[in-house]
Structure 1
Amino acid sequence: MSQNRPVVVLVDAYTSGKYLPPEFTALGADLVHVQSTPEFMPSMPAPDLSVYRAALVHEDLEGTLLRLKEYAPVCVLAGQEPGVLLADQLAEGLGLPANGPALSEARRDKYLMGEALRVAGLHCADQLKSRDTDTLVRWAERTGRFPAVVKPLNSAAGDGVFICADAEEVRTAADGILDTETIYGDTNTEVLVQSYLQGTEYVVDMVSYEGRRHVCGVWEYEKRLLPSGRNIYDRDRLLAADEGPAPELIAYVEEALDALGVRFGPTHAEVILTPQGPALVEVGTRIAGNMHPAFHSAVAGGNQAALTALAYLDPARFLADHAGRRYGKLREAVCHTTSTTQSGTVESIDEGAVAELSALETVDRFDLKIGPGGTVRPTVDLYSSTLRIFMSGASMAEIDRDCRRIDEIKDRIYRFRETSAGAK
């Protein structure tokens, strides 16, 4: 690695954050990784640190800033959600492009996020946060609008999110969340209860630089509600940028990002189109979790990781060629996340079932989320799903056909140890 190459700092490059280093490297940059916690977070695969010039473990802000100054970085950004707050602090402290400290907490804390939107006059859920379960229950009873949503303030991927049909379910959900840890290792000292947003949920992914944005994709969520009240991911379907509600959703997310002080970097926003108009569920200032560069480029003509690298390393080109523009849908596309009711320790992978999956016409690529020695448990959120499958075709009928076949194959992928295997 050349000492003359620009240096990019990534904080907590878990999951889809792994797609950022190749894009920055392709544009001539070296990378430094900052780990925000003493140990890697066990809920996610550890980043591959071999692609970085250096890997630092954060202990205190002053010390980390001092160490980073040696590399004269050109930008700092979060590789995934747990790195958002520290990335904001480091970028600000180094005088680099940053979204600023004033609303940093509101870009992670779901209660503060909603209140920032309310101040800006944007439609959003009614809400209350508290440590006292009785207070949360009384709020839900007083509003009288069930179902209600109960969830942690600072998690993601559906972790700890419950849709509650009555006050007693609110109490049970809140009691179950309080003082437990999120997937990021944070303790839930308070719980958030919100009004239920009725409507279809969508994703809007963007990249910003100096407040000017490129829209990378609008995806329609298909979720399944379990008897437990957990709403799990099933399929994300790509819309054309001018299809159905996409223009309205894009305009709303632009306003939401302005309200949250987002001027730089990638964003992944989840929005529900209610009868009263779009309402934000949450937005993360990082690339989308279901992002795969090659797949997204093939179906949408570009991808969020590559555009993020371009924005930070060649902002003039990004602003001239991409800001103020939207992706172009090239094929029907779906990201399918499979669920299971099985449980057990994986002994091996059934290569025959993998070959059947690979042979399906619309399957472009897929991730086996659990390897031998890993544990399968009944799906309650994104991190307990079993497969992530990227699919594309000339028609949705083709994709629907192969999804039905996937449902027949998915639970044959993992072979369990006899002593701990579970079954449907």
Structure 2
Amino acid sequence: MPANAPVAVVVDGYYNASSLPLAFARLGMTVVHLQSTPEPIPSWTPPDPAAYAESAVHTDDETTLQWLKALDPVCVIAGQEPGVLLADRLSQLMGLPGNGTRLSAARRDKYAMAEALRAAGLPCVEQFKSDRAEAIVAWAVERGEFPVVVKPLSSCNTDGVVICATPEETATAARAVLAGRDAFGRPNTEVLAQGYLDGDEYIVDTVSRDGQHFVSSSWKYEKTLVNGKNLYDKDILLAPDESPVPELVAYTRAVLDALGIRHGAAHSEVKMTCRGPVLVETGARISGGMLPSLHDVSLGQNQAALVALAYAHPQEFLAAYAGRSYQPRQPAMGYTVATSADGVVRAVDAKTLAAINALPTVHQTVVNLAPGQRIRPTVDLGTCTMRIYLTGPTQEAILADYARARDLKDLVYRL
């Protein structure tokens, strides 16, 4: 690694945490990777070793701390969800800027998360957890209001999340969660039930330093309900002064404080209900839908670069971003592609993919499947087939290209 270069440690750099090494490297930092589990999480593509100067696997705190002390890092941060608890603990033990361990559970466990908001006096969801499906059903029936949402306590990517309209559906969903494993391969020992939040759902993405929060973007979700599953379709970039963004932002800032998120990225999903904003969940990591190049074009900044700046040059970050919100340069949208297909991918049709990418506002298409892989009907984010990023001069132009892409999407994979 370069002599005397400051070091950043990324814990579990899965998925689009792959944007972090380059962001830190651009500021002259050396980036190393720490895996929190003995083996890579099988459901996620492992981080690219070439992106890191060095890699290690966590076995115990004492061994990892010896390795870290030799590196003398500036920060230890979570790349994705499974790394949050370890990054919190190690940064605290090393005396580095971080969010500490007092509220770590509230940043991973969805039940503890809502209870932390309740303790802070913030609007939050009604909820109940149990290791028995029968107790979940009894709570839902006693509550006297359906639908309810059943989900694992600490998963991601809408894994295991089901909207249940009856006691029977609630029982089936709860048993399925308890019989299964979360997205990280760990058995679900409890299941969470929450009241269904009415209203539209929004994203508020942030980067913080010393408890000073910058809102890097806000998006509106448009989803489709299919068999109790809310399938992602569009997320649309909003203007910071557009209703209800100011109200969402004020609430999200209070959420970050209640969850003890003083440093680094956060990805918050909030419902604008009839009683105002209510949190769905917050992840103490960069957004899974964040594509740096799209954000640079449409926003003039991106979450990964801002995280690197906040740790590498905190005073510069605070001077430019503390307490502020994003200013869009042009409209943008993400299209999460669902499918009803079921089979094995024989080929990716290059001609169809080129036709999608040739649409005027299509910025980039990320293909999730390769020849030989199984394609299944979409039930969550993990079974979506593609992600198409769009940006252009007008929202109307983007929506026109979105419609064309929808017409072509089922031709991309040949089965």
TM tier, shorter chain? over 0.9
Indicate the SS of the match to 2:71: coil
Q: CA deviation at 1:88?
A: 0.5
Q: CA deviation at 1:64?
A: 1.0
Q: What do residues 56-104 of structure 1 show as CA deviations (whole Å, max 9, x unaligned)?
A: 0111112111111111111000011111111111111111001111100
Counterpart check, 1:54 vs 2:54: yes
Counterpart check, 1:64 vs 2:67: no
Structure 2 CA distance for aligned equivalents of residues 68 and 374 of structure 1: 38
Q: CA deviation at 1:279?
A: 0.3
1:233 alignment partner AA = Y
1:101 corresponds in structure 2 to 101
Counterpart check, 1:161 vs 2:161: yes
Counterparts of residues 66-105 of structure 1 (less than 5 Å): 66-105=66-105
2:410 corresponds in structure 1 to 411
Q: Which deviates the most, 234-243 or 387-396?
A: 387-396
Counterparts of residues 140-289 of structure 1 (less than 5 Å): 140-226=140-226, 228-289=227-288
Counterparts of residues 281-360 of structure 1 (less than 5 Å): 281-360=280-359
Indicate the SS of the match to 1:173: helix
2:397 corresponds in structure 1 to 398
2:411 alignment partner AA = R
2:58 alignment partner AA = H
Q: CA deviation at 1:43?
A: 1.4
Indicate the SS of the match to 2:346: strand
1:129 corresponds in structure 2 to 129
Indicate the SS of the match to 1:253: helix
Q: What do residues 155-206 of structure 1 show as CA deviations (whole Å, max 9, x unaligned)?
A: 1111100000011110010011103111111211000000010000000000
Q: What do residues 267-303 of structure 1 show as CA deviations (whole Å, max 9, x unaligned)?
A: 0000000010100000001000001111101111211
Structure 2 CA distance for aligned equivalents of residues 215 and 319 of structure 1: 13
Q: CA deviation at 1:394?
A: 2.2
Structure 1 CA distance for aligned equivalents of residues 62 and 411 of structure 2: 51
1:306 alignment partner AA = A
Q: CA deviation at 1:2?
A: 1.0
1:188 alignment partner AA = N
Listed as ranges, the gaps of 5+ residues in structure 2 are: none
Percent of paired sites with the same residue: 50
1:67 alignment partner AA = W
1:277 alignment partner AA = G
Counterparts of residues 343-382 of structure 1 (less than 5 Å): 343-382=342-381
2:355 alignment partner AA = E
Q: CA deviation at 1:46?
A: 1.1
Q: CA deviation at 1:229?
A: 0.4
Structure 2 CA distance for aligned equivalents of residues 325 and 137 of structure 1: 44
Moved over 6 A (4+): none
1:419 corresponds in structure 2 to none
Structure 2 CA distance for aligned equivalents of residues 368 and 125 of structure 1: 35
State the TM-score, normalizing by the size of structure 1.
0.97
Structure 2 CA distance for aligned equivalents of residues 110 and 44 of structure 1: 21
Listed as ranges, the gaps of 5+ residues in structure 1 are: 417-424
Q: CA RMSD in A?
A: 0.9
Structure 1 CA distance for aligned equivalents of residues 355 and 319 of structure 2: 45
Q: CA deviation at 1:354?
A: 0.8
Q: What do residues 352-396 of structure 1 show as CA deviations (whole Å, max 9, x unaligned)?
A: 111111111110111011112222111111111001011012222
Indicate the SS of the match to 1:8: strand
Structure 2 CA distance for aligned equivalents of residues 13 and 373 of structure 1: 26
Indicate the SS of the match to 1:214: strand
2:138 corresponds in structure 1 to 138
Structure 1 CA distance for aligned equivalents of residues 386 and 119 of structure 2: 40
2:26 corresponds in structure 1 to 26
Q: What do residues 295-337 of structure 1 show as CA deviations (whole Å, max 9, x unaligned)?
A: 1011112111111000000001001111111111111110100
1:388 alignment partner AA = R
1:55 alignment partner AA = S
2:240 alignment partner AA = A
Number of equivalenced pairs: 415
Q: CA deviation at 1:3?
A: 2.5
